[in-house]
Amino acid sequence: MDKMAQIDVPKSEKAGLIISRANTLVKLERYREALRHYNDSLHLHLKDITLDRDREYLQAYTVLLRDHTARRLDPSHSITISKQKVLELGKKATLLVRADYQFD
């Protein structure tokens, strides 16, 4: 069983934890594992975020990071959302979400 599944946190916070874990895996150059976590977050956990503007920002943020990670494995992979679009959505997200999920 995945260790993330064992963590007892509110459903709305689980997506953020998985995104953070994926970001760490990218820094460790474990790209395939990071892609799995980005996809899990997109398909299983982002729907649990109740505030639309936070969910939309985190979804766009995750898609952009996932695409860039996939491109490291396959240079022909296309980027499906622009960083500018993600930053625009970030302006609408709550301060807490923006503070936790911004670009390095």
Residue 1's pLDDT band, with cuts at 50, 70 and 90, is: very low
pLDDT band per the 50, 70, 90 thresholds, residue 101? confident
Question: Would you kindly state where each structural domain of the chain is located, as residue ranges?
Answer: 10-100
pLDDT recorded at residue 42: 93
Contact call for residues 77 and 64 (beta carbons, < 8 A): no
Q: How far is CA 54 from the centre of its chain?
A: 12
Residue-wise pLDDT for 41-58, tens only, equals 999 889 989 899 999 999
pLDDT for 72-94, tens place per residue? 999 999 999 999 999 999 999 99
